[in-house]
Every structure is written in C-alpha cells, then in structure tokens.
Amino acid sequence: MTLPTLPNWDSTRIALHQAAQILGEVRKAAGIRLPNHAHLTLEVTPRGLTTGNTDAGTLTLDYPERTITYVCPASSITHLHLAEHTQISLADAVLKAMDSHGHPVSINRAEITGTTPLDADSALAADYAAALYSIFTAIARFRARLIGPQSPLNVWPHGFDLSMLWFARGFVEEQDPHLNFGFSPGSPGFPRPYVFVYARPMPDGFLDIKLPEPAYWTRDRWTGIVIDYDFLAAQNDHEAVLEKLLSAIYAAAVPLLQ
C-alpha cells in the first residue's frame, strides 16, 4: 500500500481537526489525569480517533463516515454527522447527547469557536484515516524497539499532531531530557503533512547530527528534524522507509542525551 497524496484537502483537515478538538475537551473533562498530560490526547483507530473509555462513556470520531459516535456507559449509542454542524453546534449536540443519557460534562470552550460548516470530503477523510493509521503503525513499530521510559503514541487535539516521547532518564516532560517523534497533518510554515523529531532540552551537538536523506533541519518556527510526507507517499514501502529513518536519527541523537 502506498500513502494517499491528499491533494487540496485543507477544508477536510480543518473540519476533522475541529471535530477532534471536541473529543479532546470531553476527554480532558471526563477522563482521569495521566502523566505527561496524556489525558489531553486521543487514541488512534484504523478509522480515526477515540477518547477511549471515560466515566461519561466513549466518543469516537470516524473519518470516512464523518461522524462522532457517543456510547454511554449503559451502551446506548448516538451518531452525529459533521456535515450537519459547525464546530460550536457539534459540541452542543455532543454535550446534549451525553446529558440526555445522564452523563453531563462541562468543557472548556476556549478552542471551540468554529462557526463555519464542517466541510469534510468523504474520500479525502478516508484517505487521511488510512494515512494516519499507516504512519501510526510505522512509528509504533519503531517505538517498540526502544528501551527506556516512553509516553503513549497518541494524537494531541490542540495541534492535531500524533506524537510520543522517549526519555533518556526520568519521566517528566518539562524537565527530563527526551526526544519527541511525531507526525503533523500541517502547521504554520508547513502547509503539507510531515514527520518530525526534536529534542528537549536541546543537547549540545544536536544540530551537528548528520541526518539520513531526505530528513532535514528546520530552524524557523521551531528547531528540529523534518521528513516530508510527500517523500514518503512516493515510496513503495513507506512504513519500512520511515522506520529506518527514525532509527538512524534515534541512534545519532541518543548519545547526546545521556
């Protein structure tokens, strides 16, 4: 399988991102607090994202169907279609469904401000589900070979990026040396999707690492390593290529964090 090219998909990306932010706020409000803020993340599925089990039930965002499904603890199911809503009205509908099943949740609406229709193309949404799960699978296989403390490989709804942390020692994101490996569908300065790696705090010599081609440095909006999605999409076995690239970067960076 090759990666889909995802042409002209900005409106689909924005719609899926805004829907994911709703799930993120519910997970934050209804889930238990976890180390390294993992309670602010969403789990990846072959078809999209999910909050996983919370005391108030489970929300699942299905990219190909462009729906949010709420399953309450009593197993009642509610389906909500993105195309019928803006981000604000969809959040209202989700919270209403949860309240009607006896599980009211109060969320922070600071990021729930979208007033335009959630315009996601079904084919592009399905393509992104396949792309995300394929890259998730490749990074997960790479992650399984690492020794040491790690965070879950999940999606952060705020930036809509998939990422995991590997710690050289300790397990506290704010202070212990770590590497972040992840995938973004696009961000300011990067209109196309990309895989990224960065170190925090940045160790001496990190910027002198010889990178495997075609990985390259960015030092504009943030400092780290980038592998373009479009390069991976042109490969016959992109998962194996990505695993090899991440392994080479890891091998070069780890001695600097010890």
The C-alpha angle with vertex 183 and arms to 63 and 211, in degrees rounded to 5, equals 155
Count of domains forming the chain: 2
The answer to whether residue 107 is domain-embedded is no
Whether 51 and 129 map to the same domain: the answer is: no
- pLDDT of residue 175 exceeding 90: no
Whether 95 and 140 map to the same domain: the answer is: no
Whether 95 and 17 map to the same domain: the answer is: yes
204-231 confidence digits (pLDDT tens): 999 999 999 999 999 988 999 999 999 9
Whether omega before 201 lies within 30 degrees of 0, making that bond cis, reads yes
The answer to whether residue 1 is domain-embedded is no
Counting residues of the chain whose pLDDT is more than 70, the rounded percentage is 100
Element (H, E) at 183: strand 178-184
Mean pLDDT across 22-45:
92
Whether 141 and 86 map to the same domain: the answer is: no
Q: For residues 187 and 193, is the Cβ–Cβ distance under 8 A?
A: no
The answer to whether residue 172 is domain-embedded is yes
Identify the bridge partners of residue 162 per DSSP, sorted by sequence position: 155, 183
Kindly indicate the confidence band of residue 34, based on its pLDDT and cuts at 50, 70 and 90. Answer: confident
Kindly indicate the confidence band of residue 32, based on its pLDDT and cuts at 50, 70 and 90. Answer: confident
What is the overall mean pLDDT for the chain?
A: 95
The answer to whether residue 2 is domain-embedded is no
188-209 confidence digits (pLDDT tens): 999 999 999 999 999 999 999 9
Which of 120, 101, 99 is CA-nearest to residue 48?
A: 120
Residue 130 neighbours by CB distance under 10 Å: 16
Whether 177 and 140 map to the same domain: the answer is: yes
Mean pLDDT across 30-50:
92
**Domain that includes residue 250, residue range:** 122-257
Q: Would you call 18 helix, strand, or coil by DSSP?
A: helix
Whether 134 and 82 map to the same domain: the answer is: no
The answer to whether residue 208 is domain-embedded is yes
Whether 132 and 249 map to the same domain: the answer is: yes
Nearest-angstrom CA–CA distance, 56 and 70 = 10
19-31 confidence digits (pLDDT tens): 999 999 999 999 8
- pLDDT of residue 172 exceeding 90: no
Mean pLDDT across 90-115:
96
- pLDDT of residue 96 exceeding 90: yes
Tokens at 196, concatenated? 């990224």
Mean pLDDT across 36-40:
88
Q: What share of the chain is helix, strand, coil (3-state, %, to 5)?
A: 35, 25, 40
The answer to whether residue 117 is domain-embedded is no
DSSP letters spanning 65-77: TTEEEEE-TT--E
Tokens at 171, concatenated? 């397990």
Give the pLDDT confidence score for residue 21 in this predicted structure: 98
Whether 133 and 200 map to the same domain: the answer is: yes
Token pair 């699978």 in the structure block, residue: 137
- Detail the DSSP E strand segments found in 34-81: 43-45, 48-50, 58-62, 67-71, 77-81
Whether 69 and 142 map to the same domain: the answer is: no
Whether 128 and 69 map to the same domain: the answer is: no
The answer to whether residue 127 is domain-embedded is yes
**Any residues with CB less than 8 A from the CB of 229 and at least 6 apart, and which?**
3, 6, 131, 183, 192, 193, 194, 195
Element (H, E) at 10: helix 10-30
Give the pLDDT confidence score for residue 76 in this predicted structure: 79
- pLDDT of residue 184 exceeding 80: yes
- pLDDT of residue 182 exceeding 90: yes
Whether 43 and 158 map to the same domain: the answer is: no
The answer to whether residue 234 is domain-embedded is yes
DSSP annotation of 214: T
Kindly indicate the confidence band of residue 186, based on its pLDDT and cuts at 50, 70 and 90. Answer: very high
Whether 57 and 161 map to the same domain: the answer is: no
Identify the bridge partners of residue 59 per DSSP, sorted by sequence position: 70
pTM above 0.85, yes or no: yes
Kindly indicate the confidence band of residue 174, based on its pLDDT and cuts at 50, 70 and 90. Answer: confident
Give the pLDDT confidence score for residue 234 in this predicted structure: 97
Q: For residues 61 and 19, is the Cβ–Cβ distance under 8 A?
A: yes
Tokens at 181, concatenated? 């490996």
Q: For residues 97 and 103, is the Cβ–Cβ distance under 8 A?
A: no
